[in-house]
Structure 1
Amino acid sequence: MKITLTDETKKMKKICTESNILQNWFVNTSPAIFYKTVELFCKVNGHLNTSTTRKWERDHFILTSKNKSIDSTKYRERLTVNGFALQIMNFQYSDLNKEYFCVYGFNKRHSNLTINMANFEMHPVNETVTRTCHVTAGILKVLIQFSLVYPIPRCKALYNEKFLAKSIKIRPHHDGVFYSTNVTIEESIGSMCLKTLKISCTVGSTDFVIMDFSTCSDHTKNCKNFGRRKVFGAKHALEGFQHEW
């Protein structure tokens, strides 16, 4: 007995097939760093057909459509063999917690972009970090304050080639989706000369040197001079820190 598909069955089969053409988009940048370029990627099953309508939407606005952008300084499209991406330049907090749509032909996928969707990082810059240091009665006291950072920094201190694992304390507090964090050190050094003090912090996967001090004179002068030292990143020079404090 020969079985034939009815027009309705064929139509339903076509709809089911087309609905599987497009996968949901994901954050394709890791780490995704605020004030840098962050990319969202929409993958198609099979090869991308460049003649098929494709676009990215947000807040009822079309951000990109077939290589055209609503603002080329903010949004760009990137094509691959199996999908298309939205590149968001100078990624800001205002770009977060928004619903983004990727459209391919008659297929549409959407998700709300939250800070938990990827390895987002908000790096410390000069305007968001303060620090103080002083030595009183043989006690070294350091306070570093990050007013805006994500995720919680992991810090370590090296004093005269000795790690201060027990005396360093990190106290984070939620500030919206980000954190404000205090890093404190209280260490008895007696009359020992303050030869070197290096404090480095890791934010997400990125390392920063917050203090790097290597002058030996009297304790009070040493700590006051902290305020005029340059700060550099462990992996690269920090853009926000490349000047005299």
Structure 2
Amino acid sequence: MMYCKAEFFYVAKIFIFFFDIHEASIKWEITTTPVIIGKEARLICNGQNCPPGNTKKWLGGKNYDLLCFDNQSKNISKYEMKSNGTDFELMIKTLSFSDLNCEYTCACGFQQYTNMLKFDKEVIYPPVLHDHSRAHLQEDGKFQINVTMEVFPLPTCRIVLKDSVLPLNISVVNRPEGELDLFEVVVQATIGTDMVLCGVNLTLDCKVGSIQYHHLLRRPYSCKKDDREHSNPQYFIMAGIVLALVFVIVVLMKCRLGKHNVTNQRDVGSASYTVVNANKC
């Protein structure tokens, strides 16, 4: 009978232990969405049921090492840990592909939670563009726009000239084969030089995920002058004012030079008269 009671209390203790673990469970979530390669990523661990005096730490990364321990970082150039009340946060600086598809663990005392930071559709690799457009015109007098980019996920793009959207051709050269590969995208368009105004920007706007990116494109050497700018009455008014000011300045300079010459002639004449009188004496 005593043996049965001891066994019962032992089983009860195990049940209570697992119940306490479940009640005091912690969990981390990513707070920076979307996740952008090259930017920082923040993971926050909910330690609401974690006693204040317990040791808090983060583990993970490519080699699954100890990253931070009670707000102290093992690599300050890459990781930073902050505590905010019962929650504690891990900041991954300059996020790279090697930081993804790795397990990360937040731990408080004997409680811990592990999950994988995945490379998925929420991750954005900002477009890296290469403008191969030729500034010289083709034989038919057209201007060829040719831009390649590495990007993830696939973007939606358009070429904008002032308030006009120009037609373009977009194609994918390489599609991802593995989990961390990028798309190589080619954007091409052909436009006439009569459409490109001097001093007006030609931009390639691409939306990658939820982020909009703008890239200033190369313009052709030959461009169309904006006749509206020169036909504006204000242009003629300003030109008239400038010419009038120049005329006034020239007249004033001539007057001053004339007065200076007359004064010099009088001084010379007076000096000659004095010399003549002195010779007579």
**TM more than 0.5:** yes
Aligned to 2:163: 161
2:53 aligned residue = 51
Alignment pair present for 1:211 and 2:212:
no
**Which structure 2 residue ranges, 5 or more long, are not aligned?**
1-7, 225-281
Structure whose CA Rg is larger: 2
What does residue 94 of structure 2 align with?
90
What is the deviation of 1:51? 0.9
Relative contact order: is structure 1 or structure 2 higher (C-alpha 8 Å, sep ≥ 6)? 1
Q: CA deviation at 1:63?
A: 0.9
The AA in structure 2 aligned to 1:69 is: S
Q: Percent same amino acid among aligned pairs? A: 21
Q: Does residue 133 of structure 2 align to residue 133 of structure 1?
A: yes
**Distance in structure 2 (CA, Å) of the matches to 1:101 and 1:172:** 38
* Letter aligned with residue 198 of structure 1: T
What is the distance in 2 between the residues matched to 1:155 and 1:214?
Answer: 18
Q: Does the 8 Å CA contact 2:194/2:223 hold for their aligned counterparts?
A: no
Q: How far apart, CA to CA, are the structure 1 residues paired with 2:183 and 2:111?
A: 42
Q: Going by fraction, where is strand more abundant, 1 or 2?
A: 1
Flag structure 1 segments of 5+ consecutive residues without an equivalent. 220-245
Q: How many residues align?
A: 207
In 2, Cα distance between the equivalents of 1:87 and 1:188? 46
1:66-215 to structure 2, matched below 5 A, reads 66-116=70-120, 119-124=122-127, 128-134=128-134, 135-136=137-138, 137-147=140-150, 149-159=151-161, 161-164=163-166, 166-171=167-172, 173-175=174-176, 176=178, 177-187=180-190, 189=192, 192-195=194-197, 196=200, 197-212=202-217
Offset of residue 64 of structure 1: 1.0
State the 1:200 CA deviation: 1.3
Q: Secondary structure at the match of 1:199?
A: strand
Q: Residue 67 of structure 2 is aligned with which of 63, 67, 74? A: 63
- Residue 157 of structure 1 contacts residue 200 of structure 1 at CA under 8 Å; is this kept in 2? yes
Q: Could you list the per-position Cα deviations for residues 14-45 of structure 1 after superposition, in whole angstroms to 9, with x for gaps in the alignment?
A: 3222234224322221222222221112223x
Answer whether contact 1:155 1:202 (CA < 8 A) is retained: yes
TM-score (norm 2): 0.63
Moved more, 202-211 or 98-107: 202-211
Structure with greater proportional helix content: 2
Judged with a 3 Å threshold, the aligned counterparts in structure 2 of structure 1 residues 52 and 185 are, in CA distance, closer, same or farther, namely same
In structure 2, what is the equivalent of residue 30 of structure 1?
33
Residue 25 of structure 1 aligns with an amino acid whose one-letter code is: W
1:151 Cα deviation from its structure 2 partner: 2.0
8 Å CA contact 1:37, 1:88 repeated in 2: yes
Q: Give, in whole Å, the separation in 1 of the partners of 2:64 and 2:205.
A: 44
Contact residue 143 and residue 220 of structure 2 kept, 8 A: no
C-alpha contact 1:145 1:180 (8 A) present in aligned 2: no
Cα 1:154–1:23, aligned 2, differ >3 Å: closer, same or farther? farther
The aligned amino acid for 2:169 is: I
Quick one: distance in 2 between partners of 1:188 and 1:88? 44
Cα distance in 2, alignment partners of residues 198 and 91 from structure 1:
28
Contact 1:141 1:184 (C-alpha < 8 Å) held by counterparts: no
Contact 1:138 1:188 (C-alpha < 8 Å) held by counterparts: no
